[in-house]
Each structure stands twice: as C-alpha cells, then as structure tokens.
A and B are shown apart, each in its own frame.
Chain A
C-alpha cells in the first residue's frame, strides 16, 4: 500500500507539525495523560488487591476456620466477647468431625519487649496453645513451634515475629536468647518468617507468641475463657459442612435457644474472600468511572483541538493535495499526529499513575502492582483514544476540496 511506503515521510511531516503547534500538542498530551494515569491506577490497584486477596486467603488457609467470641455482624452493645471456653475447645477437639487441630488464643496489645538494653514498644502479645505456627500456615524461619508441654507447664518460651526480631536482634538469630516482655523473661524458641501484611490490624509481623497458660497466669487474665479459636479441618472441600457442624456444636455448648443469635463469629477463607471482593468491586467501579470520564475528556480535548487544527491548516492541506498527496496520506498524517500525541500522553499518564500509585502504596492506602499488562492497556487505550477521536477531523481533512482548502475555506 502506498501509504505504508510513504510512512517515514508522512511521519516526518507529522512530527514537524506537532512541534510547530507545541502548545496545542501539550494540551492533548496532558488531557490524555490524566485519563491514562487514572486507568493505570485502577489496573494496578485492582491487580494489587487481587494479589493481596490471594495472599490473605492463602495465609488464612482454605482448610481452616477462625472463631471469634462475640457476634461481629450483630454487634450488640455490651455483648461479651469472651464467650469461648477451654471446655469448648476440648469438646471440639473431641467430637467435631474432620477437625484435627484446635488452637485457642488470646492477645494483649501494646507490650514492650526488651533485649539487653534495647526496648521495642507496642508489640502484640499472643497467647496460644501448641502448634500456633502450624495452625496459621505460618512457616518458622528457625527454631520450633509452641509445644504441648510448654502450655501444660506455663513455660516462659516465645515465638518471635520478624518485626521485633529485626528491631532487637538485627540480622542475628534471636533463637535461644532471652527477652523480657513487661519485665518477665522469656526464652525465644522460634522465629516466625516474614509475612509482610499490613492494613487493618497493623503490622502482622509485629508480634510475639507465648503459651496461652503463661499469658493468662503471668498477665492476670481470665483463665476460663479466651478470645479466639483456630480450627483446621481435613477435606477442605467440605468446608461448608464443617462450618455448619462447628456452629451447631458451639450453639449447643453455649446452650443458645433457637431464637437467639450466635454469641460467636466463624470466619472462613470464603467469608474473607467475599468481604474482600466486595471492597475490591467498589474500588474498581469508582476508579473505573473516574478513568472513563478522564479518558473521554482527553478524547474530546483531542477532537476539539484537531478540528481547529484542520481548519487552521486548510491551506497546508489544500497545498499538499495539489502537490499530489492522496487522501489517505492526509488522513494518515492527521491520525498519526493524533496517535503520536495520545501515545505520548499514554507514557506520561503511565508514569503519573505509577508515581501516584507508589505514593498511595507507601501511605498504605492502595497496594500497587506494575505489570506489562498495565503498560499494554495504557498504551492500547491511548492509541484507541487517538484513533477514535482523531478519526473525524482526519477524515474531514482528507475530504477537503483542494481548491476550497487553498482559499482557506472549508
């Protein structure tokens, strides 16, 4: 095709014209950049949210339930949250079909850990029975998990989260060392690997795990009840049934009449997923609408400025036609000008979007993930805006009558 053969020449002319009308070009680039920046932000944010969802679900485990005391959904005023007892845990272990690991836990926030003369404040202290790391699918970087005899004897041993370990020990191993939690000495027996999850309840790695019995006795807490319970099941494909069985059993143990709400909440991976996708859907819709509007605005800026450009440059168009330019060459030049500008806008928008994303990511507002998919989508949309909104002015230019165009009329 002739146009393809002449492409280098036409491209040269397009670039010259873009440079000649700098201000106009800049407006188009900026207009499109805004749209692409929003688009980039959405796609990276949704990708980030997807990844985070997967991480959360994986961390939560598809084969586990997390039971919290109190009803989270119908949070009545003054409702007790300490409703789960050791008796409940024992009965679940004993008689809930499919359940193979039951770990009750309680926590106390805002504790200070000391190693030698170094203090690290505001650590979350979790009391749990044996197999804490296993029940949370949380690999140990080194050392061992909480054991049955630790719990039975109220031993002063601890699993250290990666955050306090880094703060107090740097790169050295904390295992075997003694740390003081609110003045009480504990021997570190294991180090939890880094999980890197933030948001909501703060930094998940900022914790120390000690036997539950130790927590209740040493910190003077209720010995009969605890706050939460992790249950792991065989056969994750029957999770719905497992959850229903668990619920019935707990209602029975708590002697709840049929008309009374649960005094506990069971969370499963499905539940977590539902909640997260609801949040994610809202985010995508909100940002999607914003980006679409921004892209349309960019497109209209382009169409508008190009229509003005065609009528201002009608002499140039008429002259080129008189000199033997085909209609396709004129149309090609204007479409090329439009798409070069929108592609430049695309690159700028991508940089802006990723920059903004980084910022939001750093402020923990959004999780951002760059991918070639984002790049392709940004460039593709930019090109589409250029071609779609540039088409009408370009066609108009190509169809100008050379004589009329030379007279400056159109």
Chain B
C-alpha cells in the first residue's frame, strides 16, 4: 500500500480576533478521512473548491500534519516524525507538481530539474545525466539552459514534472497541474502523467476538471471535508 489513511481530521484553529468573542473555535477542513491507495494506482481527487482536496494532498505530501488520525506512507507510520525526517521522506519518496509550476526564476531548466537531488546529496555528475535524460523525455532536450521566463506554461510544467521525477520517487502528488494551461497543453501534460504512471509510479492528482479526472484509474470525491459516496 502506498498511502493508507485512517480517521484523519484536519482542523484549522482560527485566531480569536477573527471570530470576535475569544472562543476557541476551529474550522474542520477534513473530517474522518480513511482511504487506501495502492502502489501503481492513478487516483484523482475531485471536489469543489473548499472541499479540502488540496489540504488532503498536502497531508499526503507531508507538508502538513493531521490534527487526528493515522497515516502510513509506503508502509511507514509517519505520525510523530520530526521536521527533518519528514523532509527526507519528501525528498526521497515523493514528487510534487504544482498548479503554478514554481520554478526558480534565475536557474536554468536543467538546474531546476536537479534541485531535489541537491538536497539528497547525489553527485552533480549523476544528477546532470539524470536531468538531461528527463528533460529529453519530456521533450525539452533543446531547451535545457533556458531560464523559465523563456519557456511557455506547458514547457514550464514539463520542467516541473522532470523535477518531480529526478529523485526517482514512488509517488507523484500533483495539485491542479493543468489548472493554468489551455486544453491542448493540458492533454500533453496528462499524456506525460500517463507515461509516468506506465513506469509504475503511484499518482495522486487534485483536479476539478472532469476530463482530467476521467483519465485516472479511480476518482475520490470530496465534499465538505469528507469522502463522498
């Protein structure tokens, strides 16, 4: 099992001045989430905005911590891990793709791709060769030294996908990866996701786009912080 969650709650506590009466009241963003995602699955998380799908993805990605419940990632209980241990897990075993790409503006495409590898201590030469072959695979072999500002949105997202793969993680987490792209480019990017999936990676993808979701092996619907159905 790649991801196993049991009775996960996520409550954001509001500052007292925001509710005005000093009462300690929280907002339940996720309530009693239990789910299993097997290795090699392609799952789409769907829901309206505010349904908690991004928060759920952040919890899966160890960028956030649940208020209650248990989470087992690749067979490992990650509750109570400290910040460094969670960083190490993000580094080795998870790949992230975001809606707004998040490329470092002053670094070239290749340098952006190898960034996660720099924090795992992989040698530069090894990273370079991995980065070059990944960029070739996403069709940017001729733009390796381009800065992000000289790449189109679709190309920037390809760089981001190559970056997500550079440490050879088992799980790719994507938050609205096609949200800023037109439909043709979206299709190309989704094609890449399917290629990556074909390599045996587990993919969890947040989207509100029906067509994108339809391509996934399984759709999990979220409604008001709960899993629907």
Inter-chain CA distance A21–B106, complex, in Å, is 9
Instruction: Determine whether the beta carbon of B119 is less than 8 Å from that of A6.
Output: yes
* Residues of the B chain whose Cβ atoms lie less than 8 Å from the Cβ of A325: 87, 91, 119
Return the CB mask of B117-139 against A: 1 if under 8 Å, else 0. 01111001000000000000000
**Whose C-beta in chain B lies nearest to the C-beta of A402?**
B63
* Residues of the A chain whose Cβ atoms lie less than 8 Å from the Cβ of B90: 322-324
Is residue B42 within 8 Å, beta carbon to beta carbon, of the partner chain? no
Return the CB mask of B81-107 against A: 1 if under 8 Å, else 0. 001100111111000101000101111
* Residues of the A chain whose Cβ atoms lie less than 8 Å from the Cβ of B92: 324
Is residue A29 within 8 Å, beta carbon to beta carbon, of the partner chain? no
Inter-chain CA distance A12–B88, complex, in Å, is 21
* Residues of the A chain whose Cβ atoms lie less than 8 Å from the Cβ of B52: none
Instruction: Determine whether the beta carbon of B96 is less than 8 Å from that of A322.
Output: yes
* Residues of the B chain whose Cβ atoms lie less than 8 Å from the Cβ of A19: 106
Instruction: Determine whether the beta carbon of B64 is less than 8 Å from that of A403.
Output: yes
Instruction: Determine whether the beta carbon of A17 is less than 8 Å from that of B106.
Output: yes
* Residues of the B chain whose Cβ atoms lie less than 8 Å from the Cβ of A6: 118-119, 121
Inter-chain CA distance A329–B87, complex, in Å, is 11
With most chain B CB atoms within 10 A of its CB, the pick from A9, A10, A21, A325 is: A9
Inter-chain CA distance A322–B56, complex, in Å, is 15
Which segment of A79-87, A228-236, A312-320, A341-349 sits at the interface?
A: A312-320
Inter-chain CA distance A388–B111, complex, in Å, is 31
* Residues of the A chain whose Cβ atoms lie less than 8 Å from the Cβ of B102: 315, 318-319, 406
Inter-chain CA distance A19–B108, complex, in Å, is 13
Is residue A55 within 8 Å, beta carbon to beta carbon, of the partner chain? no
Instruction: Determine whether the beta carbon of B63 is less than 8 Å from that of A403.
Output: yes
* Residues of the B chain whose Cβ atoms lie less than 8 Å from the Cβ of A326: 83-84, 87-88, 119
Total CB contacts across the A-B interface at under 8 A:
70
The one of A21, A316, A329, A406 that contacts B119, using a Cβ cutoff of 8 Å:
A329
Is residue A321 within 8 Å, beta carbon to beta carbon, of the partner chain? yes
Q: Report the minimum CB–CB distance from A16 to chain B (whole Å).
A: 6
* Residues of the B chain whose Cβ atoms lie less than 8 Å from the Cβ of A406: 98, 102
Inter-chain CA distance A324–B61, complex, in Å, is 11
Instruction: Determine whether the beta carbon of B63 is less than 8 Å from that of A324.
Output: no
Is residue A20 within 8 Å, beta carbon to beta carbon, of the partner chain? yes
* Residues of the A chain whose Cβ atoms lie less than 8 Å from the Cβ of B177: none
Is residue B116 within 8 Å, beta carbon to beta carbon, of the partner chain? yes
Instruction: Determine whether the beta carbon of A324 is less than 8 Å from that of B121.
Output: no
* A16 touching B106 in the complex, CB below 8 Å, given contacts A324-B90, A403-B58: yes
Q: Report the minimum CB–CB distance from A17 to chain B (whole Å).
A: 7
Is residue B37 within 8 Å, beta carbon to beta carbon, of the partner chain? no
Inter-chain CA distance A406–B159, complex, in Å, is 18
Instruction: Determine whether the beta carbon of B88 is less than 8 Å from that of A316.
Output: no
**Whose C-beta in chain A lies nearest to the C-beta of B102?**
A319
Inter-chain CA distance A6–B117, complex, in Å, is 11
Instruction: Determine whether the beta carbon of B61 is less than 8 Å from that of A322.
Output: yes
Is residue B115 within 8 Å, beta carbon to beta carbon, of the partner chain? yes
Is residue A13 within 8 Å, beta carbon to beta carbon, of the partner chain? yes
* Residues of the A chain whose Cβ atoms lie less than 8 Å from the Cβ of B83: 326-327
The one of A10, A16, A21, A323 that contacts B116, using a Cβ cutoff of 8 Å:
A323
With most chain A CB atoms within 10 A of its CB, the pick from B98, B107, B119 is: B119
Instruction: Determine whether the beta carbon of B87 is less than 8 Å from that of A324.
Output: yes
Inter-chain CA distance A204–B87, complex, in Å, is 72
Interface residues of A in 28-78 (CB under 8 A from B): none
Instruction: Determine whether the beta carbon of A324 is less than 8 Å from that of B91.
Output: yes
Instruction: Determine whether the beta carbon of A320 is less than 8 Å from that of B119.
Output: yes
**Whose C-beta in chain A lies nearest to the C-beta of B108?**
A16
Is residue A5 within 8 Å, beta carbon to beta carbon, of the partner chain? yes
* Residues of the B chain whose Cβ atoms lie less than 8 Å from the Cβ of A316: 104
Inter-chain CA distance A318–B163, complex, in Å, is 15
* Residues of the A chain whose Cβ atoms lie less than 8 Å from the Cβ of B104: 316, 319
Interface residues of B in 117-172 (CB under 8 A from A): 118-121, 124, 163, 167
Inter-chain CA distance A327–B85, complex, in Å, is 11
Instruction: Determine whether the beta carbon of B63 is less than 8 Å from that of A322.
Output: yes
* Residues of the A chain whose Cβ atoms lie less than 8 Å from the Cβ of B115: 319-320, 323
Inter-chain CA distance A319–B120, complex, in Å, is 15
With most chain B CB atoms within 10 A of its CB, the pick from A318, A320, A321, A324 is: A324
A-B contact pairs, 19 of them (CB 8 A): A2-B84, A2-B121, A9-B124, A10-B118, A16-B107, A17-B106, A20-B105, A319-B104, A321-B87, A322-B96, A323-B90, A323-B96, A324-B87, A324-B88, A324-B91, A324-B92, A324-B116, A326-B119, A406-B102
Which 8 residue pairs across A and B have the least CB separation, nearest first?
A324-B91, A20-B106, A9-B118, A323-B116, A324-B90, A319-B102, A325-B119, A324-B119
Can you add 8 more A-B contacts, CB < 8 Å, to A322-B61, A326-B119?
Answer: A9-B119, A20-B106, A21-B106, A318-B102, A320-B119, A324-B87, A324-B90, A326-B88
| A contacts, CB < 8 Å to B | 2, 5-6, 9-10, 12-13, 16-17, 19-21, 315-316, 318-327, 329, 402-403, 406
